[in-house]
Amino acid sequence: MLLILLIILLSVPSNCIVLFQQTSTFRRLNLPNTSVGPESITFDSLGRGPYTGISDGKIVRYDRRTAGFVDFAFTSRNRSKALCDGTNNPALRPICGRPLGMEFFIRKNMLFIADAFLGLFKVGLNGGLATQLANAAEGIPFRFLNGLSVDQHTGDVYFTDFSSRFLQTQIQQAVAANDSTGRLLKYDYRTKNVTVLLRRLSGANGVAISSDSSYVLVAEFLANRTRRFWLHGTKAFTSEIVATFRGMPDNIRRAPFGNFLVAVNVERPAGGPRLIPTAIRINGAGQTLQTLPLDRYYNNTTISEVLQCGKQYYIGSVEANFVGVFNG
């Protein structure tokens, strides 16, 4: 029985091993000020959160006592509250920062952050100004950091650079050019080195490591597919396409029992809104296990991430001014 319990716990994202109270079918955790874009979501070792990065460059944390988000951390040394707080101006993102992918290394109470413009960062539970860990790999500067996943056994960080040519503010140009210069990267927690694991990815987006650390899944946003990159075993350092979608996959999060949730904005065949925001549950081989359309909650709005914690699902979106929560 103890072994079975241990296996179940290791299959669940570490920052979600916490009991949650039941809520209504769907509710909104509204962002502060006029900011939007809670791209990615995470919880700390104490079960506090959700934490998320927003359009004005801050990482904020939901405080259940006040039922609102409070400031937690930021990535830019040049960030000015007067200039940045509440802004949605894309031109200010290189100054204010734009944190996207993030996840805690639970054992060390360390939050790792992929900032689209400024690089890879870390910050402790006290928050404040985050420490930059890297802004380039193999002499090539990061252009558009996006997804991030932490190996909870080692602290190694797997993250993506969406493109080596286009910035986050130029994503429409990247789509038009069918860009394939994205990279999958690894930050070694012990050596502090960054290495490139995969190149020539078509819009390198979400990434998630398996519960046994044998592989990572990485989404190729522009190619409508997910690729598996092997870290260990006979297939180590090789990759294969394991899933294709009728839409562009965004972030990937590990779910209970070793499965994964992919946020996909599915193309509607005909009629109605063009895209259906959908959570698609897959296994490590890319087989679809469950499909959860979310258009009733996100009408005409895309989603970027679906994180499962117990029976609750936390939804990220680069367009919304709230984090969505619903019961499965």
Segment 216-251, tens digit of pLDDT: 999 999 999 999 999 999 999 999 999 999 999 999
pLDDT at 55 over 60: yes
pLDDT per residue as tens digits for the range 264-314 = 999 887 766 688 999 999 999 999 999 999 999 998 899 999 999 988 999
Residue 179, pLDDT above cutoff 50 = yes
Residue 86 shares a structural domain with residue 24? no
| Average pLDDT of the segment spanning 134-161 | 97
38 φ/ψ angles, rounded to the nearest 5 degrees: -75, 80
Looking at the structure, tell me whether residues 230 and 306 fall in a common domain: no
What is the Cα–Cα distance from 110 to 144, expressed in whole angstroms?
Answer: 22
Asked whether residue 122 falls in the same domain as residue 148, the answer is yes
* Residues 264 and 233 both lie in one domain: no
Same domain for 97 and 218: yes
Amino acid 79: pLDDT: 96
Q: Based on the domain organization, do 185 and 315 belong to the same domain?
A: no
HEC sequence for 290-308: EEEECCCCCCCCCCCEEEE
Q: Which is nearest to 321 in space by CA: 102, 27, 34?
A: 34
82 and 145 inside one domain: yes
Last residue of a domain, one of 210, 232, 258: 258
Q: Which of 258, 287, 307 is the last residue of a domain?
A: 258
CA distances (Å), 132 to each of 100, 118, 123, 211, 245, in order? Answer: 15, 8, 9, 27, 35
42: containing domain: 2-14+35-258
Query: How many domains are there within the chain?
Result: 2
Reduced DSSP (H G I as helix, E B as strand, rest coil) percent helix, strand, coil of the chain, to 5: 15, 45, 45
118 plus 181 within the same structural domain? yes
Whether 220 and 299 share a structural domain: no
